[in-house]
Chains A and B, each alone.
Chain A
Amino acid sequence: MKWEVVIGLEVHVQLNTVSKIFSGSSTAFGAEPNTQASVVELAFPGVLPVMNKAAVEKAIRLGLALNAEINRKNVFARKNYFYPDLPKGYQISQMDHPIVGPGTLAIQVGDSEKLVRVTRAHLEEDAGKSLHEEFVGMSGIDLNRAGTPLLEVVSEPDMCSADEAVAYARALHTLVTWLGICDGNMQEGSFRVDANVSVRPAGQAELGTRREIKNLNSFRFLQQAIEYEIQWQIDTLEDGGRIVQGTVLFDPDSGETRMMRSKEDAHDYRYFPDPDLLPICLSEEQIERVRGEMPELPGAMKARFVEAFGVSAYDAALLTSSRELAAYFEAVAQATGEGKLAANWVNGEIAARLNKEGLAIGDCPIAAARLSELVRRIADNTLSSKLAKQVFEALWTSELSVDAIIERDGLKQVSDVGAIEKMVDEALAANPKAVEEFRAGKEKALNALAGQVMKASKGKANPAQVQEILRQKLG
């Protein structure tokens, strides 16, 4: 039987405020346990939450970037559950009136673009951490993380493969870091993904029973977990079994998902409006001010790169995967007027080398100005692409300028017609057999001859000119 996969994602985006959502405690990561937990997070009797303005405005930023409705009036609700990492006995969240309503996010899968609908995004507080290993019969509770502002972004079930789900998660990750509302650090839990996965026979209208994979903190685990889950559900159904709705955990060591709790055991959260917090009312002025402070969005920048610099949509998508990378490319493209060449070098040599050495673009030893010199010297035929790669090596490992490296290593391309003609004549004289073959119609023989000329020039002859002069002389 042919199966169809349906996936929706819920992403917890940790907002990068310096203080917590409802108190003036620090949100800095890695502090000694409970040194950043105030009476608000500890839920002492009589304390009241006071809302952080920056968290509200960061949520508005994402809403605007998703072309979503911003709810002018949005309301906090209590989500009740009993667990020691949340001493109040409830999480402050938003239920019926989230700050961000329906919007969309464009994702790129291979060569095609797809628009994924976003259902909503709501503000809430994070819980603390429980440590179960260290103590016999007891759990240790650290409430430093409790009260950290989260924006939970919920998608419609619009994705139909693990690749699409990962593309969506990546696009959202790019967007929240681009907007400067989240540090994007997945190891530290700043961007956590839950995936709702179901399968149904191809063509069936109603959805299959879904299972939710919780807390995936890397794109690789997201991909693996969804792929495993899809196969597990299909195998189960084809063996005549049925899927029980519930929550599952992914074990990275075994690569498997396993049931955590079924729907029957699901919490009854008993949501109700939080009487401690009044509704947030947003004015047009506030929303427009936030809009005015936003950077150019990756989608708009991508379109502009295609339009202004003539790069392919694929290259433009890679170049706009982060704001730093986009700025780096734009600086080179603007300085040289060579958009395509700049894109090839940024997405090619630079990306490969950064990746190999585990560096981010911000740590790139070749600043945009130096790469611009290199691109200029390729464009004006001083360097062939082969020589340019040699210069690139030297640029990476030294502080020298491009021209200084060309001078030092004698890498200047030879484009002098007389000099090349002389080398061509020598090559023709030394290889009569190849000349004969070419005249007999063997096109490949020309490459052999060109190779001889290049060798004689120590790789410095202008390859296009060599070909041209060879053809003239043989023609």
Chain B
Amino acid sequence: MSLTHQDVARIAQLSRIAVTEAEIEAVGAQLNNIFGLIEKMQAVNTDGIEPMAHPQDVSLRLREDVVTETNHRDAYQAVAPLVEKGLFLVPKVIE
């Protein structure tokens, strides 16, 4: 499979990554290399093998339902670009 110019632009848009027109060709080539690798892997016969959800065959450890975190808002917000009344401010987005 080969990604078109449009495919690459759409992926970039969905990922919110700014890719210039000039870069699209190079990025597309890199992505197509990855797809080439996936194609090779897909050629391997996996009949009768149950797909794994994780490379390690172990199960999730669960924690008890207890509050262990305390309020560190000031420290966390000290590195935020814009803060007001305890809220993080971001460019207006309305869906």
Contact = CB atoms under 8 A, between A and B. Distances in A.
Interface of A: 17-19, 23-26, 32-39, 42, 50-56, 73, 75, 80, 82-84, 89, 97, 130-132, 134-135, 137-143, 260-261, 268, 270, 273, 275, 277-281
Interface stretch (B20-28, B29-37, B40-48, B53-61): B53-61
Nearest to B54: A278
Interface string B58-85: 1111111111110111001100001011
B91 A139 contact: yes
Given A24-B67, A37-B76, A278 B59 contact: yes
Contact of A23 (B53, B58, B69): B69
B14 A34 contact: no
A37 B88 CA distance: 12
Q: Give 9 closest A-B pairs by Cβ, nearest first.
A: A24-B68, A140-B87, A54-B65, A281-B59, A53-B62, A33-B86, A75-B53, A278-B60, A141-B88
Nearest to A15: B65
A55 B71 CA distance: 23
A438 to B, nearest CB: 74
B71 A36 contact: yes
A273 B56 CA distance: 13
A32 B86 contact: yes
A56 B65 CA distance: 10
A137 B93 CA distance: 9
B49 interface: no
Given A273-B53, A279-B54, A19 B90 contact: no
Given A26-B67, A273-B54, A139 B89 contact: yes
In this complex, which of A50, A137, A138 has the most chain B Cβ atoms within 10 angstroms of its Cβ?
A138
B86 A137 contact: no
A386 B69 CA distance: 59
Contacts of B87: 33-34, 131, 140-142
Contact of B90 (A34, A52, A141): A141
Nearest to B88: A141
Nearest to A44: B76
B73 A52 contact: no
Chain B contact residues: over half helix, strand or loop, or mixed?
Answer: loop
23 contacts: A18-B67, A19-B67, A25-B67, A32-B86, A33-B87, A34-B88, A36-B69, A52-B62, A53-B64, A82-B14, A82-B15, A84-B90, A84-B93, A97-B53, A130-B93, A135-B89, A138-B92, A139-B90, A139-B94, A277-B60, A279-B53, A280-B60, A281-B60
Contacts of B53: 75, 97, 273, 278-279
B65 A278 contact: no
A260 B95 CA distance: 8
A34 B91 CA distance: 18
Contacts of A270: 14
Given A82-B16, A137-B92, A33 B85 contact: yes
Contacts of B54: 273, 275, 277-279
In this complex, which of B60, B72, B85, B92 has the most chain A Cβ atoms within 10 angstroms of its Cβ?
B60
B59 A51 contact: no
Nearest to A277: B60
A34 B59 contact: no
A131 B94 CA distance: 10
B49 to A, nearest CB: 15
In this complex, which of A35, A37, A131, A140 has the most chain B Cβ atoms within 10 angstroms of its Cβ?
A140
A462 B90 CA distance: 75
A145 B79 CA distance: 21
Contacts of A42: 76
B76 A19 contact: no
Nearest to A23: B69
A138 B85 contact: no
Contact of A25 (B64, B69, B88): B69
A24 B76 contact: no
Given A83-B95, A139-B92, 8 more contacts: A18-B65, A35-B86, A80-B14, A82-B16, A84-B90, A132-B94, A270-B14, A279-B60
Nearest to B63: A50
Contacts of A26: 67, 69
A32 B86 CA distance: 8
Contacts of B85: 33, 134, 140
B60 A19 contact: no
Given A17-B65, A19-B66, A281-B60, A138 B82 contact: yes
Contacts of A280: 59-60, 62
B62 A278 contact: no
B85 to A, nearest CB: 7
Contact of A55 (B65, B67, B82): B65
Given A50-B63, A275-B54, A132 B89 contact: no
A81 to B, nearest CB: 8
